[in-house]
Amino acid sequence: MIRHAYVHVPFCRHRCGYCDFTLVAGRDDLIERYLDAVRREFGRVTEPLRLDTLYLGGGTPSHLGPEGLRRLFGLLLERLQPEPSAEVSLEANPLDVTPEFIAAAAECGVTRVSLGGQSLDASTLAALDRDHGPGDVRLAVERLLSAGFEVSLDLMTAAPGQSLAAVEADLAAAIALGVQHVSVYCLTWEQGTAFQSRRQKGLLQPAEESLERAMFEAAIDGLTAAGFEHYEVSNFARPGHRCRHNEAYWDCRPWEAFGPGAARFDGLTRITNHRSTTTWINRVLSGADASGDVDAMTAEAAARERLVVGLRRRAGVDRDAFRAASGYDLDQLAGPAIARWIVAGLAERDGPALRLTRAGLLVSDALWADVLA
Ligand code: SF4
């Protein structure tokens, strides 16, 4: 039974130079047609879904503003009905977090705001091409916490020119702000982004790999020393404040998803909507199929994916629970890869659990091909 849903809101004020997400910048003229299209797509759900978690991501959902947010919730609540205890998350740009926006979010039942702060240092924010300053992040966090929302703050590392000391200062500032959750992401250089083309012209330099690792270790050490649980490769939470929606993804539970580029999953098949916002709108409004990629996995492929997402969690993968959920034994599925990781000190067994060590976490993205291939 589906208890989780994602809604993609593809609007941003401007496109940050490193970002390759599904979005349109400076195209607020499309908002009306987007709302029409997403209302139609909600109609795919014939019976209202009772939800444990609902996540509005983007893009920047807060770019809809207070009235736009009310309208979106007015449409979605016809088909997506969060339980009274549900976690309802919304991604926000610090500049959008006005008292009016906070009032609208509270009215709509939002419980948790994921703030795209990225840094509390002016030069790092400028290097990341962000449109807000450190004072905007501080003000947004203070307003949200005092209004009773749970707050997750995104921080980025390995920004152009960023030092280890600057990352440590960001971590200390985030801890001092009192947020309940921090997500720490290392800058990635995606094809087709402005950053990648500036890199190819020699105008931007990526951080050295050793510096990237030192920054990640500083995040682990700094946040865990401050009482945060490191519960997934990139995610840290004060006890009781993990993101329940992301935990559903990492458990490979089925979920619904709406909006351009949004991927839904029924346990075996992942269907991703067309990634172009305009194409998605046009197809939905004309009654055409707006799906882009359809990834119909075999049971074995789904089990391999379950292993990878499970190992991203610090608790790792429980052998018995894995067999019960996937029908596969860990060693039958990936015995040679697991043995290599253990010998190399990248993974360890702890009773029935298999988990990555800290050394494994630092190189985790490079390990998955061993299992997925
Ligand atoms: S605000 Fe977020 S989603 Fe929008 S362009 Fe910047 S990084 Fe991408």
Cα dist from 167 to 171, 199, 213, 215, whole Å = 6, 22, 12, 7
Atom of ligand 1 nearest to the CA of 129: 6
CA distance 161 to 127: 7
Question: What average pLDDT does this structure show over 84-108?
Answer: 98
Which residue from 216, 135, 226 is spatially nearest to 179, judged by alpha carbons?
A: 226
Question: What average pLDDT does this structure show over 219-245?
Answer: 98
- Are residues 311 and 246 located together in one domain of the fold? no
Mean pLDDT, the chain, rounded, equals: 96
| Domain-ending residue, one of 218, 250, 282 | 250
CA distance 373 to 370: 6
- Find the CATH number of the domain harbouring 163: 3.20.20.70
pLDDT for the residue 318: 96
Q: Is the peptide bond before 59 cis (omega within 30 degrees of 0)?
A: yes
Range of the domain at 11: 4-250
306, 268 Cβ separation under 8 angstroms: no
Cα dist from 54 to 69, 108, 217, 244, 248, whole Å = 14, 12, 31, 9, 11
In a domain, 140, yes or no: yes
CA 147 to centroid of chain Cα atoms? 23
CA 354 to centroid of chain Cα atoms? 24
* Confidence band, pLDDT 50/70/90 cuts, at residue 22: confident
In a domain, 255, yes or no: no
217, 362 Cβ separation under 8 angstroms: yes
Question: What average pLDDT does this structure show over 3-12?
Answer: 98
Query: Token pair of 285, please?
Result: 């409004």
Which residue from 39, 13, 28 is spatially nearest to 258, judged by alpha carbons?
A: 39
CA distance 92 to 66: 12
In a domain, 280, yes or no: no
pLDDT for the residue 136: 98
pLDDT cut 70: percent of the chain above it: 100
| Domain-ending residue, one of 213, 229, 250 | 250
Asked whether 59 lines ligand 1 (CB < 6 A), one says yes
- Are residues 124 and 228 located together in one domain of the fold? yes
- Are residues 246 and 305 located together in one domain of the fold? no
Residue entry with tokens 């630092």: 362
* Domain tally, the chain: 2
CA 153–ligand 1 middle distance (angstroms): 14
Query: Token pair of 314, please?
Result: 């610090």
CA 12–ligand 1 middle distance (angstroms): 6
Round the CA-based radius of gyration of the chain to a whole number and report it. Answer: 21
- Find the CATH number of the domain harbouring 350: 1.10.10.920
- Are residues 68 and 205 located together in one domain of the fold? yes
**DSSP letter assigned to residue 148:** T
| Domain-ending residue, one of 234, 250, 266 | 250
CA 84 to centroid of chain Cα atoms? 23
In a domain, 333, yes or no: yes
DSSP H or E stretch at residue 44: none
Beta-carbon count within 10 A of 40 CB: 16
pLDDT in tens, 308-365: 999 999 999 999 999 999 999 999 999 999 999 999 999 999 999 999 999 999 999 8
Closest Cα to atom 8, ligand 1: which residue? 19
- Are residues 186 and 332 located together in one domain of the fold? no
In a domain, 293, yes or no: no
Residue 373 reports pLDDT greater than 70 = no
- Are residues 136 and 208 located together in one domain of the fold? yes
CA 109–ligand 1 middle distance (angstroms): 24
Which residue from 137, 146, 155 is spatially nearest to 223, judged by alpha carbons?
A: 155
CA 324 to centroid of chain Cα atoms? 27
CA 304–ligand 1 middle distance (angstroms): 31
Q: In 194-276, which ranges are continuous DSSP H helix?
A: 194-200, 209-225, 244-250
Asked whether 16 lines ligand 1 (CB < 6 A), one says yes
- Are residues 238 and 305 located together in one domain of the fold? no
Beta-carbon count within 10 A of 303 CB: 23
- Are residues 211 and 68 located together in one domain of the fold? yes
Question: What average pLDDT does this structure show over 242-269?
Answer: 96
Q: Is the pTM of this model over 0.85?
A: yes
In a domain, 278, yes or no: no
CB-based contacts of 320, cutoff 8 Å, min separation 6: 352
In a domain, 269, yes or no: no
- Are residues 91 and 30 located together in one domain of the fold? yes
In a domain, 273, yes or no: no
- Are residues 123 and 209 located together in one domain of the fold? yes
pLDDT in tens, 46-82: 999 999 999 999 999 999 999 999 999 999 999 999 9
- Are residues 169 and 109 located together in one domain of the fold? yes
Residue 301 reports pLDDT greater than 90 = yes
pLDDT for the residue 137: 98
- Are residues 230 and 342 located together in one domain of the fold? no
CA distance 95 to 129: 14
Pocket test for ligand 1, best of 23, 137, 195 (most atoms within 8 A of CB): 23
Residue 243 reports pLDDT greater than 80 = yes
